[in-house]
Amino acid sequence: MSAEKARRVQPLSGLDAAFVYLEAAGTPMHVGALLLLDRPRVGRAGFAPHLRAHLQQRLPKARALHRVLQAAPFAMDHPHWAEATDFDLEQHFFAHRLAKPGTQAQLLALVARLHAKPLDRSRPLWALHVIEGLADGGVAVFTRLHHALLDGQGAVALARVLLDVAPGVPVPEHAEPARPAHSARDKGSTFARVSSALLGLPQTLRAVWSAAPQVIDTLRDSVMLAPRTPFNVQVGPARRIATGGVPFADVRRIAKHFRVSSNDVVMALCGAALREYLLRHNALPRTSLVAAMPISLRTGDDGEANNQVSMAQCALHTEMADPVARLHAIAAATRRIKQQVSLLRGFIPTDFPGLAAPLWASGLSRVWASGHLAEKLPALANLVISNVPGSPVALCLAGARVRASFPVSIVTHGLALNITVQSYAGQLDIGIVSDRDAVRNPALMVRGIERAVQALLGKINP
């Protein structure tokens, strides 16, 4: 392969490819963001043509957004990223207008319908929807990006394309991260990667053997079974979405007073909201709910443009009625998680050879879905909770101020509820995604989080 072709065709890592294979189970694996903008200063044509021109100008700098999935010959390796030769912005840019009166309920219903649709794999895996007709005169922009792109150049490129720190002043560009010279993805075919793994097997086995007692003890103490809840079901094709926000200063104040981290507070707020919701529906288990909490495995000097994440189980202590006791119990749990991740980091795989993986991995996903196995096997978690750092200052999109940035994430079979919060300009913006039938009114959980903040603040100043 020539150097030029090698730059244009890049194999996915095993973890990146897993997000592609999981779609065989019938659950789209893209994440989104719902941006609310102040009323833009544009003419009668509206904001959509203005934003399209903005994108047209910025897109040439975003190489990752021009990449398309390409299957390996005979399905003998993971798919590759290849540069699209016929990129057309009109296949990724969509304009919508809400019918009057343009309520928030109408907006969220539209976003839920859009989020439930898979991205077209014959094109670069992203889409942007501009939504006008909001009652307050503002505009919403909903972006969708496949998770196979997320933890690398895709997210960086999309932000760089869209957002400015002030009208007309782009977010500062950074050099595209250089991949380590001996990256697993630079080793070419799956056969080369298998050979490399076999050559390194003796050293790997020695490392595992020496650490085995401690690793086994850690795994035995850390793996939990979650109680059954209405969220541990097979998901259907439809979604519900709820959004909200709380002042980040309140979260930091609670964290400082009780000497815990802001993430501990976020988990405690979610636990309180879930307890309240399940009590309301006579479905609260006697034992604690367990959240699947994404953790990064990336080291500080790692410039790989791929996903390097895993999941940790975090007890939410929903069996506790006292909010302060729950917060301290969660803080103790997250301290243990940090210690466990520190020990196990080197043993958690983020890549695996792709020998026939498009066949067997996709097949396993289909079996998981068709057999409703998520409802039959013991649950390891009840939902996913993510806490994502965002911009501390307000940003602009095509000259309009972004007043909120709500994350919109993924639900899968057995995990029909996802709560993601993202800090943005002094707020914690909350995005809740659920299967339509598993959670009829996720807005109740948003209000539960807001009440939980006030409950903890009340413990500081009774």
Cis (ω within 30 of 0) for the bond into 462?
no
- Could you give the CA distance from residue 262 to residue 387 in angstroms, rounded to a whole number? 9
Angle at 159 between CA 17 and CA 187, to 5 degrees: 30
Residue (of 260, 227, 274, 257) closest to 385 by Cα position: 274
Three-class SS of residue 302? coil
DSSP letter (8 states) at residue 226 = B
- Is there a contact between 250 and 453 (Cβ–Cβ < 8 Å)? yes
In a 13 Å sphere around the CA of 117, the CA atoms on its Cβ side amount to 13
Provide CB contacts within 8 A for 94, sequence distance 6+. 127, 128, 129, 130
* Both tokens assigned to 119: 């991205």
- Is there a contact between 409 and 431 (Cβ–Cβ < 8 Å)? yes
State the CB neighbour count (10 A cutoff) for residue 289.
Answer: 24
State the CB neighbour count (10 A cutoff) for residue 55.
Answer: 18
Active-site option among 50, 78, 146, 147:
147
Residue with tokens 């390409």, as numbered in its chain:
70
Three-class SS of residue 453? helix
Task: Specify burial of residue 28 (Cβ count, 10 A radius: 0-12, 13-18, 19+).
Answer: buried
Residue with tokens 């983020």, as numbered in its chain:
350
CA dihedral in degrees (438, 145, 430, 137; nearest 10)? -110
Instruction: Provide the residue type at 155 as one letter.
Output: A
- Could you give the CA distance from residue 224 to residue 151 in angstroms, rounded to a whole number? 27
Residue (of 173, 128, 182) closest to 153 by Cα position: 173
| Catalytic annotation present for 80 | no
- Could you give the CA distance from residue 81 to residue 259 in angstroms, rounded to a whole number? 45
Q: Which value, in Å, is the radius of gyration of the alpha carbons in the chain?
A: 23
Provide CB contacts within 8 A for 9, sequence distance 6+. 1, 70, 80, 81, 82
What is the set of active-site residues? 147
